[in-house]
Structure formats: structure tokens, C-alpha cells
Chain A
Amino acid sequence: DAGVIQSPRHEVTEMGQEVTLRCKPISGHNSLFWYRQTMMRGLELLIYFNNNVPIDDSGMPEDRFSAKMPNASFSTLKIQPSEPRDSAVYFCASSSIWLAGGRDTQYFGPGTRLTVL
């Protein structure tokens, strides 16, 4: 398996522009997580999906952020409009969660480094 795939790897944009980050989870995994990493706040969970349904979006910083998972093999994180304080590395991770309450190892993608000027 190719692992979790994210695109683009780097994104530089100007304040006010729309930014879309993409993620393809590992085939067979039923849960997907979006994280943001900054020096100040470390690794923060933004949102996670289980079976393509958003389960917990309490980490999404504000309405400018939205995430979708239209099918089991694709998810997007969109920022509109972007601001300089959104500059960070955004990671996508996938895992398996079972109905009995167990879960498997979480695997991370390479991340997208976003710079908003």
C-alpha cells in the first residue's frame, strides 16, 4: 500500500484566497483524521470521520474551515478565506475503528506545509 497520500505537499497563498488540501487514506481504513501542527500549539486534532461521516469537529478553529469526505478514499480540508495565522503543517491520518470499540494503529500522511502571506 502507498500509505496515506496528501496533496499538495507545499502551498503558498495570499491572505483571503481559498485553500483546499486533499487526502487519500489507506485502503480499507474506515476512519480519517485531520491534524494541524504549529510550534505554538503542537499537534491538534481538527476533525475526524468514521465511515465517511464527520464524528467530531470540535477542533475546527472557526467557520472558515470545512472538511468533507465524499467517499472512503478521499477527503478535503478547505480554508476560505485563508489568513496568515492558518500557516501550519496539516496532516491527514487514517486508521480502523471497530464497532466493538477497538481501534488500530493510526498512520500519518507526509503533511501539507501551508504558508499564507
Chain B
Amino acid sequence: GIQVEQSPPDLILQEGANSTLRCNFSDSVNNLQWFHQNPWGQLINLFYIPSGTKQNGRLSATTVATERYSLLYISSSQTTDSGVYFCAVGLTSGTYKYIFGTGTRLKVLA
């Protein structure tokens, strides 16, 4: 089955720093979402980005489907950005399943 790998697995930043999170996938996908799971466990949509680039405030994401990766950029990080970031990919054939990556655990220090 498709493999979804995220890197780095853990990341510690000082408040105000920038970071790039990566999601690699092993097969063709027609859908990709980024989620933030906050310290209370809630999964929050960040981006629906099967291809191209999107920006929302301090966050932006780029997906290059032909090269099978997506990047999430966090600029001027804040302590509220702490939590786990997941990418989830939707397969191209026969199913509407999403496969989740293992996540990047981010801690932003004040």
C-alpha cells in the first residue's frame, strides 16, 4: 500500500522562528490535506491542497504531486503552533480513503 512519510518527526523551535515540514508519499494521489492536532487533541484543517501553493496567514503549503511531496511552511512561529502536524493523502483509484502520515510533533518555546 501507499506509504506516507513525514519529516522531521520532532521539531523544537524558539518563538519567532520559521520551519518547513515535509510529507512524502509513495504513489499517485489526487488529494492532500494538512491538519494540526492541538494539545487538546482536536484535529484542525489547515489546507486542502492536491497541487499548487496556498497561503493562510503565517502558514503556507505547496504540493508537487508529480514529484510526490508536499511542504508546510510555518513562519514567525508562536507557542500556539505547538502540536502535531499531519498530512493525509487521498488515493487515485477505487477508494475515497485518506491515508495519514505519522506526523511531525512541533514544540514552540516562548
Chain A interfacial positions (CB closer than 8 Å to B): 31, 33, 42-45, 48, 50, 55-56, 89, 91, 93, 97, 101, 103-108, 110-111, 113
**7 A-B pairs, CB-CB below 8 angstroms?**
A31-B96, A42-B100, A45-B97, A56-B97, A103-B90, A110-B42, A113-B41
Distance (Å) between the CB of B42 and the closest chain A CB?
6
Fill in one digit per residue for B83-104: 1 if any A CB lies within 8 Å of its CB, else 0. 0001010100001111110110
With A97-B96, A103-B90, A103-B96 in contact, do A91 and B31 touch (Cβ < 8 Å)?
A: no
Give the chain A neighbours of B95 by CB distance below 8 A: 55-56
A48 touches B97 (CB 8 A): yes
Summarize B's interface: helix, strand, loop or mixed: strand
A105 touches B96 (CB 8 A): no
Give the chain A neighbours of B77 by CB distance below 8 A: none
